[in-house]
């Protein structure tokens, strides 16, 4: 053991020396350059004696550069000798169009000997990415590309992480290798892999995406007058996309077009969700639903963690603790009250022949991932020893869909409305090399024993209701020569081993980071098959680039701490504004450890401005349902009232994200890209593009310092005008049941006139329009309405609102039946003198002026589907 340890130390010393001299490697020379219709190709020939830093340098590469659109350049470097692994089209579909030209808004420039390249803006010739002085290295298990950036560069992305939203340029290493990461520790690799970053400058924003699912380190380092960004990748190819911008919203939309526009979620999915790991039986679940009702807190969806399973086996329910007839009764009761039900589904299938029918059926179809010798690969998860479905196996999708059809059958099983995926990195409790999984499972007490007696069989519910194989040249996939910064000692720790073989010949070493996304996609298809035509609501833990086109994401097993409350904002901004997964949120009040009343109250208000709003905690934590403390209950009611009144504004924003990629949550610099003060702010954010959320973020205080850009804002609750001056403002006496929310000037907000207990009831509430003019006296907005549940909408309705010169114009198109819904009023904010006269389509209308609030309120009874003009003088 001692000799082995010393050899590792010696190897590390050698690697460090090599790394220090890596910029002296020869790189490549570009030869045989030939033009293509919208780009060029070239050979890259090793320019001198090989460095062989972490393996033999590959002597000849092939370079291709394509101007795919006027705002996107695609650069690809591959081994000229033959194919290497690259992300399959089935996982990340490539854009179908390639109609760009050399007159693109960004330009690819290069030097032949030694080869280096740069990306520049056409209009300003500003350099965005530049590898000069940093030789390209391309080896079997090590790829290296390095670029120089401006001093103190503003880099965002490269997740998943709990670092600050703006990554520190000084000494940051972002490791991308998906893992089970309880406690989501700062600075480590977490559950998801998104090798994309936005760089923002006062002159513009651009994006860089490396389509590679292998493990990697991306290093940011600062020197006296520059920043560098360096990719260190342990396999695959170099497959870069460069996005021109020039604005942050432009880059977001360009990446969405590349990675896939986000899926639309059902309207009900935006309601409040409740879950806990540790509900002991069906009575616990039913009692929580009843308690929310008694407390008057709107609960949209009840969830159940793995507690419902028999011996933690997927696609089972415990007949004593969660008997099927009682589970069906709970679901029926929820549905009768327009509420919903979701359970967890894990990928790991327990090896319990005869007990787990899902295992028996999968074994018969031979759909498990394999060891190199062809045997089923085993791990340890909650059921004990497990196998994992191989999503590349041609039989697996049908197998998975059939398990959903059987167990979640509306007539005979648990009729879930959505599904929650966990442990899909895939996670294992086995530490490499895990020589005897069966003995290890026993030592870890998996599956856990139930310690409480089951409910009586006569207990009553307390709810009062009516691809092609790719060649590789890897020498060691279990211990690659370059060690990325994975928290665990080995890549195979706590997960499927990296030498596992998939049905198409690919190995886990290459496809590990896409396992969770493949499960998510297959699960969405299974949900759609059991409820054809309805939008699936799927929340997952592990994602890869493009996952938002299928599913939503929660931020994993956080802790009940103020620090995790704060970093949840940056986490959401990463997924919603950079990675294009808009349906995202943290475990409100925290998952691990014990929350406090004040923390849970604050988090309940912040959570109401998460796209995905769920209270969830662990089995060893105290109970934290919102009704447990009077202050938390009131905080939740206050915040849900705001959320639900705004829900159609937010639903419209989600629809725009689906159609055009506009992010539903935005950092302040997205809206104020030239205001350098906003570049590092990640404790405030925009909900939609016009609602500024500025939560209290410190413990046991009732004040907060917030930044208000040089613009007009209005307090959401009292409509008071606040003139931002591009400076910090101190807010005081903020109750624990409150959260500072502002309307940005320049918007017309369609709001429901009041909240409701369910989103179904909410959709029957009338609207009011709130006009919040900007400093030019103008405002605009929109409203999108559909049935809220269908994938393909037969009829929709859209309204656009424009305001200027004291005139509001409402234009409506579409044929979706809005019934008797009306606009009940129009509120014009910031009115300094009482209007003398208001007309609706030329007819005098009633107006009331609040001199203190400076708000003019015009009473209406105008059908929601109508177009009209309102003028005042």
Q: At what angle do helices 630-645 and 647-660 cross, to 10 degrees?
A: 60
Q: Of 527 and 466, which is predicted with more confidence?
A: 527
- Give residue-wise pLDDT tens across range 342-388: 999 999 999 999 999 999 999 999 999 999 999 999 999 999 999 99
Asked if 129 and 147 touch (Cβ cutoff 8 Å), the reply is: yes
Please report where in the chains the tokens 């209290």 appear, as a residue: 696
**Domain covering 655-872, topology:** Immunoglobulin-like (2.60.40)
**Which pLDDT score is estimated for 103?**
85
Distances (CA, A) of 18 to 54, 191, 220, 479, 768: 9, 31, 19, 18, 66
Indicate whether 465 pLDDT > 80: no
Residue 436 is a catalytic residue: no
Single out the catalytic residue among 217, 318, 425, 440. 425
- Give residue-wise pLDDT tens across range 99-138: 778 789 999 999 999 999 999 999 999 999 999 999 999 9
Give Cβ neighbours of residue 595 (< 8 Å, ≥ 6 apart).
Answer: 560, 589, 603, 617, 621, 622, 624
**The tokens of 620 are what?**
């060893």
Residue 422 is a catalytic residue: yes
Q: Using CB atoms within 10 Å of the CB of residue 507, give its burial: 0 to 12 exposed, 13 to 18 middle, 19+ buried.
A: buried
- Give residue-wise pLDDT tens across range 33-46: 999 989 999 999 99
Characterize 459-472 residue by residue with b for buried, 16 or more Cβ atoms within 10 angstroms of its Cβ, and e for exposed: eebebebeeeebeb
Share the mean pLDDT of the chain: 95
Residue ranges per domain, the chain? Answer: 22-258, 267-554, 655-872
Asked if 387 and 437 touch (Cβ cutoff 8 Å), the reply is: no
- Give residue-wise pLDDT tens across range 419-434: 999 999 999 999 999 9
176: Cα separation from own chain's centroid:
15
Residue 338 CA to residue 354 CA, distance in Å, equals 38
Indicate whether 508 pLDDT > 80: yes
Distances (CA, A) of 691 to 405, 429, 688, 704: 41, 43, 6, 18
The CATH code that applies to domain 267-554 is 3.20.20.80
- Give residue-wise pLDDT tens across range 776-791: 999 999 999 999 999 9
Whether 655-872 and 267-554 are alike in CATH topology: the answer is no
**Mean pLDDT (whole number) for 673-684:** 98
**Domain covering 22-258, topology:** Immunoglobulin-like (2.60.40)
Single out the catalytic residue among 422, 440, 625, 648. 422
**Mean pLDDT (whole number) for 574-586:** 98
**Mean pLDDT (whole number) for 618-628:** 97
Backbone angles phi, psi at 15, to 5 degrees: -65, -40
Single out the catalytic residue among 557, 587, 648, 768. 557
Give the other-Cβ count within 10 Å of 844's Cβ. 9
**Which pLDDT score is estimated for 8?**
37
Report the SS3 class of residue 515: helix
Residue 425 is a catalytic residue: yes
Indicate whether 640 pLDDT > 50: yes
Separate counts of helices (H) and strands (E) for the chain: 15, 48
Distances (CA, A) of 801 to 320, 649, 669, 743: 57, 12, 25, 16
User: Which residues on adjacent β-strands are paired with residue 380?
Assistant: 385
- Give residue-wise pLDDT tens across range 687-703: 999 999 999 999 999 99
């Amino acid at each position: 053991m001692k000799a082995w340890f010393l050899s590792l130390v010696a190897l590390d010393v050698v690697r460090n020396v090599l790394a220090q001299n890596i910029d002296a490697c020869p790189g490549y020379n570009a030869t045989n350059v030939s033009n293509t219709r919208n780009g060029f190709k070239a050979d890259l020939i090793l320019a001198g004696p090989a460095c062989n830093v972490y393996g033999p340098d590959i002597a000849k590469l092939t370079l291709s550069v394509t101007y795919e659109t006027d705002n996107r350049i695609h650069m690809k470097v591959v081994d000229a000798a033959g194919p290497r692994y690259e992300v399959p089209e089935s996982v990340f579909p490539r854009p179908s169009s390639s109609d760009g030209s050399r007159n693109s808004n960004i330009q690819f420039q290069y030097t032949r000997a030694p080869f280096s390249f740069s990306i520049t803006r056409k209009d300003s010739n500003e350099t965005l990415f530049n590898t000069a002085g940093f030789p390209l290295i391309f080896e079997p298990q090590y790829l290296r590309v390095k670029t120089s950036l401006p001093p103190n560069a503003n880099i965002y992305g490269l997740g998943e992480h709990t670092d600050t939203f703006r990554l520190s340029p000084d000494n940051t290493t972002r490791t991308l290798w998906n893992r089970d990461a309880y406690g989501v520790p700062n600075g480590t690799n977490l559950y998801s892999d998104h090798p994309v970053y936005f760089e923002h400058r006062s002159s513009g924003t651009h994006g860089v995406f490396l389509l590679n699912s292998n493990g990697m380190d991306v290093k940011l380092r600062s020197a006296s007058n520059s920043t560098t960004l360096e990719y260190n990748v342990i396999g695959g190819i170099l497959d870069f996309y460069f996005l021109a911008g020039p604005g942050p919203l432009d880059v977001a939309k360009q990446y969405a077009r590349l990675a896939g526009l986000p899926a639309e979620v059902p309207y009900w999915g935006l309601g409040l969700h409740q879950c806990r790991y540790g509900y002991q039986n069906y009575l616990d679940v039913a009692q929580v639903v009843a308690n929310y009702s008694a407390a008057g807190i709107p609960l949209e969806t009840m969830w159940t963690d793995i507690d419902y399973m028999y011996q933690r086996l997927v696609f089972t329910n415990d007949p004593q603790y969660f008997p099927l007839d009682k589970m069906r009764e709970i679901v029926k009761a929820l549905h009768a009250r327009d509420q919903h039900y979701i359970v967890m589904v894990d990928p790991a299938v327990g090896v319990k022949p005869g007990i787990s029918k899902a295992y028996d059926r999968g074994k018969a179809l031979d759909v498990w991932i394999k060891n190199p010798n062809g045997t089923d690969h085993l791990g340890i998860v909650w059921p004990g020893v497990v196998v994992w479905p191989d999503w590349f196996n041609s039989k697996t999708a049908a197998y998975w869909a059939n398990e959903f059809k059987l167990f979640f059958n509306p007539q005979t099983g648990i009729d879930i409305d959505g599904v929650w995926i966990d442990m899909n990195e895939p996670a294992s409790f086995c530490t490499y090399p895990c020589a005897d999984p069966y003995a290890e499972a026993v030592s870890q007490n998996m599956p856990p024993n139930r310690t409480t007696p089951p409910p009586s069989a006569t207990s009553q519910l307390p709810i009062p209701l009516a691809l092609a194989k790719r060649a590789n040249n890897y020498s060691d996939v279990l211990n690659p020569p370059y060690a990325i910064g994975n928290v665990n000692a080995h890549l195979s720790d706590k997960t499927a081993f990296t030498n596992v073989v998939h049905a198409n010949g690919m190995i886990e070493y290459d496809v590990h980071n896409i396992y969770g996304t493949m499960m998510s996609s297959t699960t969405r298809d299974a949900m759609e098959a059991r409820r054809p035509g309805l939008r699936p609501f799927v929340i997952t833990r592990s994602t890869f680039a493009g996952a938002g086109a299928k599913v939503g994401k929660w931020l994993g097993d956080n802790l009940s701490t103020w620090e995790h409350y704060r970093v949840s904002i940056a986490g959401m901004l990463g997924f919603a504004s950079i990675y294009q997964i808009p349906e995202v949120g943290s475990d409100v009040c925290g998952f691990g450890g014990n929350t406090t009343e004040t923390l849970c109250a604050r988090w309940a208000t912040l959570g109401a401005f998460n796209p995905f709003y769920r209270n969830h905690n662990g089995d060893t934590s105290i109970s934290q349902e919102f009704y447990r403390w009077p202050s938390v209950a009131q905080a939740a009611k206050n915040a849900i009232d705001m959320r639900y009144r705004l829900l159609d504004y937010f639903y419209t924003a989600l629809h725009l994200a689906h159609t055009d990629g506009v992010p539903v949550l935005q950092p302040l610099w997205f809206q104020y890209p030239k205001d350098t003060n906003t570049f590092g702010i990640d404790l405030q954010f925009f909900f939609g593009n016009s609602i500024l959320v500025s939560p209290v973020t410190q413990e046991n205080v009732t004040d907060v310092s917030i930044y208000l850009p040089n613009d007009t804002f209005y307090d959401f609750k009292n409509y008071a005008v606040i003139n931002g001056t591009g400076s910090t403002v101190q807010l005081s006496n903020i109750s624990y049941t409150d959260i500072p929310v502002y309307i940005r000037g320049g918007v017309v907000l369609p709001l429901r006139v009041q909240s409701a207990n369910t989103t179904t009831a909410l959709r029957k509430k009338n609207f009011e329009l709130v006009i919040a003019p900007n400093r030019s006296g103008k405002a605009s907005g929109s409203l999108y309405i559909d049935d809220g549940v269908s994938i393909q909408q037969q009829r929709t309705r859209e309204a656009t609102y424009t305001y200027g010169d004291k005139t509001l114009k409402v234009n409506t198109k579409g044929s979706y039946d809005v019934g008797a819904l009306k606009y009940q009023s129009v509120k014009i904010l910031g009115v300094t003198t009482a209007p003398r006269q208001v007309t609706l389509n030329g007819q005098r209308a009633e107006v009331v002026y609040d001199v203190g609030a400076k708000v003019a309120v015009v009473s209406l009874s105008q059908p929601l589907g109508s177009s009209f003009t309102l003028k005042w003088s």
